[in-house]
Amino acid sequence: MKNIKRLTLLFVLIVSLSFVFTACKGEDKDSKEANTTTEGTDKKDDENKVLKLCTANELTNLTTLTMNKENNIACNLIYETLVSYEDGEIVPKLAESWDWKDDGKTLVFKLKEGVTFSDGEPFNAEAVKKVLDFDHSNPNFAGIRGVAEIKSTEVIDEQTIAIHYENPSKFYLNAFCFQNVLGMPSPKVFTEGNFETFSKNVGTGPYVYEEFKSGDYTRFVRNENYHGDAPYYDEVIIKYIPDASSRLQALQKGEIDLIYGSDLISYDDFENASHMDNVTGVVNENISLTKNLILNPASEGLKDLEVRQAINYAINKKDIVDSLTYGNEEVAESLFSKTTPYSDVTYEEDYHYDSNKANELLDHAGWVRNESTGIREKDGKPLKLQYVYWPDLSLAKETALSIKTQLKEVGIDVETIEKDQMSWWTDGVKGEYDVTTWFTEGSYTEPHKFLQESITEMDPHLVPLQSLEDSNTYIDAVKKASVSLDEEEIKDSIQTALKYSHDHAIDLPLFYAKDMIIFRNDKVKGYQFTSAPQFFDISHVEPNN
């Protein structure tokens, strides 16, 4: 418990830093602020090729220091990663190749030549070393093992850098695909120990941060020295529109050209937009992540496996998907889809909606329905659960209310509790919940990162696992997969962990989420979703010339 308390204090500090939204003074000096109005940016459309997007929060801290969700719309404009995740594979980006040395304990990147940062600094091994050493010292990177577990970095030559680890892991490479935090900033923009702001926003990407107008927009212009193919648009303007209905109105009026991502578009918004003239909406065919719940066997109401199993049978996932997403998303039969690496698992228990089965399990567990209240009781105590969620997660509140209604049908009373992100997380890692939301992260993080973090004190899974006598089966399997380089051993270990979670009804996957986009037909012809759909990629926009 003392360790958890210490960790909680650390996390409070980390999250406090990650949510500091400050308009960086260094940026203010370089910005052409205030004297340019939104009207002025609109006039540029006649002269330049301009794409106008939006975000719900101002881009006042557009750095690679924290995983701020609002940065996902713009991080690819400025910053580039060493490698990228495309069509299920890791491919070169700023690194043209890589190799493993020392029995998998050293990762060597050969860097692309002829690349410079937009401030003129050379992109080379020395620059990458400075970035990675700085990131390694940043507590916000504790959950990214490829950075957190770095033992040392070594410049081999101008274009070659070696990253040394204490132990091998096939999944270290995946970490370098993180587009919002593992993008490469110029070494000149950060200072040792400052994990709140950069002096400027400078990377190697196709665009340069040009202007910030508080309460209105952020503007980016083409990087004329970009090492890759020149981008189509001369300028990108990202407007600050916090209200969902206002975003739709701005799209309809032509004040913006597109709205991207499930963080900004609900399915109700999507349906409304589909009835607008000159507007098209597209839902990604591929899965972004799994919307998942954790059932806590350490809590009094859920210590009995039969109760946790009954909840799995009592929830009608298809009804939730159809009502909340208009059938666009998919019911999740398992924590990860079978197309996810190492996750093609056959489970003995097939959880599906069956209220009769749920009632049988609850009866067998000794929970008897009180005919006057409709709620089951045992030893004079009602079966009441606290369902804790962070409302900023897509459809979190709506899902909680749907599940509350469904579980009442089998005699389980659910209290839904909203908490801010910090409280939701810190209470979660202490096990202070019966049911809580805990989504996967998607694409290049699955399934390894979800499993690796589940056995740490930074994750709400640990307390539930510690309450089970045979949890070492799960914990040891995750540890083995994390340090093995043998494909069969990794697969067997991951599948052992997934079967354990399923058989003990700890994780309750609800549905596979998908991303979406809505755009004006007069400006955009189409958009090709990437393998990491939570990040907008301007190179995948097809302009309507």
Cβ(14)–Cβ(148) below 8 Å? no
pLDDT tens, residue by residue, 122-155? 999 999 999 999 999 999 998 899 999 999 999 9
Which residue blocks in 138-209 are alpha helix, DSSP H? 145-148, 172-175
Helical pair 317-325 and 396-408, crossing angle rounded to 10 deg: 140
Among candidate residues 153, 172, 147, 185, the one with its CA nearest the CA of residue 64: 185
38 three-state secondary structure: helix
Give the pLDDT of residue 68.
82
Per-residue pLDDT band at 2 (split at 50, 70, 90): very low
Give the pLDDT of residue 16.
39
pLDDT tens, residue by residue, 452-471? 999 999 999 999 999 999 99
Cβ(315)–Cβ(453) below 8 Å? no
Per-residue pLDDT band at 87 (split at 50, 70, 90): confident
Residue 321's φ and ψ, nearest 5 degrees, are: -60, -45
Give the pLDDT of residue 25.
37
Q: Is the pLDDT of residue 315 over 50?
A: yes
pLDDT tens, residue by residue, 198-240? 999 999 999 999 999 999 999 999 999 999 999 999 999 999 9
pLDDT tens, residue by residue, 38-57? 444 454 455 789 999 999 99
Segment (H or E) for 338: none
Q: Which two tokens stand for residue 199?
A: 């002096």
Cβ atoms within 10 A of the Cβ of 316, count? 20
Cα 535 to Cα 439: distance, rounded to the nearest angstrom? 17
pTM (two decimals): 0.86
